[in-house]
Amino acid sequence: MRRTKHHLAISLISLAIAGSCSIAQAETEAEHAHKSPGQYESSATAMTGEDVKIVKSPGAPDLTEQEFQKATRIYFERCAGCHGVLRKGATGKPLTPDITQAKGSAYLEALISYGSPAGMPSWETSGELSKEEVTLMANFLQHEPPQPPEWGLEEMRNTWKVLIKPEDRPDKQLNDLNLKNLFSVTLRDAGQIALIDGDSKEIVSVINTGYAVHISRISSSGRYLFVIGRDAKVNMIDLWMKEPATVAEIKVGLEARSVETSKYKGFEDTYAVAGSYWPPQYVIMNGQTMEPLKVVSTRGMTVDTQEYHPEPRVAAIVASHEKPEFIINVKETGKILLVNYENIDALKVTTIDAARFLHDGGWDSTHRYFLTAANKSNKVAVIDSKEGSLEALVEVGAIPHPGRGANFTDKKFGPVWATSHLGDGSIAVIGTDPDKHPDNAWKVVRSLDAQGGGSLFIKTHPRSQHLYVDTPLNPDTGISQSVAVFDLNRIDEKYKILPIAEWADLGDGPKRVVQPEFNEAGDEVWFSVWNGKEQESAIVVVDDKTLALKTVIKDPRLVTPTGKFNVFNTQYDIY
């Protein structure tokens, strides 16, 4: 069913304070107590509401201690990623008591219930929160947020486990999997990932991980799969084992999003790095055992007003191909760090001022330039990883959210990189070739119109002539359940719409379609049809040449599938 005009009107009003949320916040999250035996249970922390003591705030509605604990958990699971643990805002607007008490309970309930076209989820109308829970959250937001604990090297070491030592691991691949075409698929509400054979379309194994895995990354060698959950648990999975399994794990904080491994020649698989949302910091680890070696805080001054920020969270991290460096986005301060790992005991960090609210991004086709969204600043920052400098700040549409972005050659403008947006239906196409196309470099050379706002990912492949754009957070179900496809040979023509959710044939549920991902050959595109936890979900595979349905992968173990990461494409940064 499509939204009523009344619902859309309320959604538009709610834009005034709502901002938008990424997939990590928009997804349906299950309470840990409802997990079946054997599934991963998050550690008890203030972030999940356990043992939190309510601090009465003057003017706020009364809450019992039990209600406050429940609301804290809901906020951490669904809201903190956009609005911040301390509710000071980022992709989403700030939700501090001075703002929320002025808005009042009725306004907040409407906001939470109906969401916004810019990406704020419709928590009640989608069935993900009950009316009572919406009221609870409206009341909770008018109180001061609880202060979460810190998490340093000692806490990390207490969670660090080497399950199989490096010397006890295989010295060759023991299974017959085609690892180049293996997919790591996030099963968010199950606290697991599924490894799916891209050739047979069969699930190879389901592996318990942290809570609500955010991303999967592949080591430089292609052997190790690293996944990180929103609860900051990192699993290191050995794909060479007869049955791929976790060989080391660690919890690097209380909330996190990003993990990466060293890729520069001579340092392959030497280090891993993970960035936390809370505490705001990153940790460099041994790439074979995940032993934590160096923890670095990101607290500091913002690039614009140069005032202190207590919660500058680590967003995207990529490994440089030009130098032994990790490139780290610090969201709230708007700083990009080039962290040289040649000598971590004498760490050299180059700090580049970009723009606030840095989020995700990816490489241009040459792997020299890193293009990353400063989403609430409506900019894309371009980093020259060879020179270690800011090449440009490009004005784009409302709240860019590229994922890794999409590289292709425009017949008129040459090599380009594209991003879609959470806040509007445009696609910004940016020139990326300063050598042969200097007049087009680091400029928006095209602005394409897609289905609408609420896009999280845009994707193409060097062997494809199509550009795919999802819109899972759009409030119109007809849009959130389909994808737009542009023909790169006729990019000025109107896009085609693929009814992905309809092809999945799942029955009831929100059925949001998210994250196109190519196979290794570049002739198939996989989409997650992400339904409620108690409803059937699926993965839809489309033939890239014909845009026809190829197959639908269904399995009871596919619980809320979202992100998908092809091993080969992720290993070599192909997008």
Hey, which residues are catalytic here? Answer: 79, 82-83, 120, 359, 401
Residue 55 is given by DSSP the state -
Q: Considering Cα of 487, then 318, then 560, then 519, what sign does the dihedral take?
A: positive
Give the chain's radius of gyration (CA, Å).
22
User: From start to end of 354-443, where are the E strands?
Assistant: 358-363, 369-374, 379-384, 389-395, 406-410, 414-419, 426-431
Pairing of strands 369-374, 358-363: antiparallel
**In contact, 330 and 298? CB cutoff 8 Å:** yes
* Three-class secondary structure of residue 448 per DSSP: strand
Single-letter residue type at 226 = F
Q: Which residues are within 8 A (CB) of 39 and not within 5 positions of it... i.e. 6 or more apart? A: 190, 191, 192, 208
**In contact, 364 and 573? CB cutoff 8 Å:** no
Taking CA atoms, 368 is separated from 334, 341, 385, 387, in Å, by: 21, 18, 6, 9
Distance CA(161)–CA(203), nearest Å, equals: 27
Distance CA(141)–CA(245), nearest Å, equals: 41
Distance CA(518)–CA(522), nearest Å, equals: 6
Distance CA(110)–CA(12), nearest Å, equals: 11
Residue 377 is given by DSSP the state G
Distance CA(179)–CA(173), nearest Å, equals: 10
**In contact, 114 and 11? CB cutoff 8 Å:** yes
**In contact, 112 and 70? CB cutoff 8 Å:** no
Residue 462 is given by DSSP the state T
292 preceded by a cis bond (ω within 30 of 0):
no
279 preceded by a cis bond (ω within 30 of 0):
yes
**In contact, 540 and 527? CB cutoff 8 Å:** yes
Single-letter residue type at 39 = Q
Taking CA atoms, 141 is separated from 72, 96, 253, in Å, by: 10, 7, 24
**In contact, 253 and 235? CB cutoff 8 Å:** no
**In contact, 316 and 324? CB cutoff 8 Å:** no
End-to-end Cα separation, the chain, in angstroms: 34
Distance CA(188)–CA(186), nearest Å, equals: 6
Number of H helices, E strands in the chain: 11, 35
* Three-class secondary structure of residue 496 per DSSP: strand
